[in-house]
Amino acid sequence: MEKTNRVLLKLSGEALAGEKHTGFDEATVVEVAKQVKQVVDSGVQVGVVIGGGNFWRGRTSNKIERTKADQIGMLATIMNCVYVSEIFRTEGVDTVVMTPFACGDIAQLYSKDASMEALKEGKVVFFAGGTGHPYFSTDTATALRAIEIEADCILLAKAIDGVYDSDPKLNPNAKKFDSISLNEVLEKKLGVIDLSATIMCLENKMPMLIFGLNEENSIVKTVNGEFSGTRVTVD
């Protein structure tokens, strides 16, 4: 991989929860902060999107109308970003939290210009609140922000260590892909990210590197091209 100058790191809410599977595992978040500091100190600009699955899985309930369920999910991502950004600060990383809708003094209102300026100043920018609209997941927000900030690639840090041809939790013989194209992801219906996000990445030629968050030094290794996950190409 060519030299990376700017990345969008997508963190799984479940991965940040560790073995508790809900809330936060502080040791995990501190380790992420230390790795991101190394990346930023090396001159790479980092934006972050965090999923909300450690707090809210609204689509599993038929009791709540979809728009409201998605709005609760947006708030979950804001809680995640505020918490994680504060842990980053304790590790010496300057941060900014941005949301697509006003949140008082909790976060700044998102704009491309402001986020680009913060990135160039060496700050880690947290893009919280999804796209600000229902019916769009944090996958779509990740693709959107990565394209807007002109990232070189998306780093997808998950609880699982790459892309498989079937669910490795259910199938012990599942095959892991070292590399796969976005077109193949669509054809095989692998569900790496949701459909709208996949199409956005394909149309805008945004590659992804997918890896296990809990593997040792995984973020630093991925930025340096030494990861053992799955490379998702735009070819």
The tens-digit pLDDT sequence of the chain (235 residues) is 456 899 999 998 888 887 777 888 899 999 999 999 999 999 999 999 999 988 987 666 678 899 999 999 999 999 999 999 999 999 999 999 999 999 999 999 999 999 999 999 999 999 999 999 999 999 999 999 999 999 999 999 988 889 999 888 889 899 999 999 999 999 988 888 999 999 999 999 999 999 998 889 999 999 998 888 999 999 8
Q: CB neighbours of 159 closer than 8 A, spacing ≥ 6?
A: 12, 14, 15, 212, 213, 214
pTM, whole model, 2 decimals?
0.93
Q: Which of 231, 222, 228, 210 is nearest to 36 (CA)?
A: 222
Question: What is the SS3 assignment for 206?
Answer: coil
How many Å apart are CA 136 and CA 132, to the nearest integer? 8
Residue 110: C-alpha distances to residues 10, 17, 23, 118, 188 (Å): 17, 26, 25, 11, 35
Comparing C-alpha atoms, which of 126, 99, 121 is closest to residue 43?
Answer: 121
C-beta of residue 209 within 8 angstroms of C-beta of residue 227: yes
For residue 233, count other CB atoms closer than 10 A to its CB. Answer: 14
Distances (CA, A) of 177 to 23, 161, 180, 211: 30, 10, 6, 11
Task: Give the DSSP H or E segment for 208.
Answer: strand 208-212
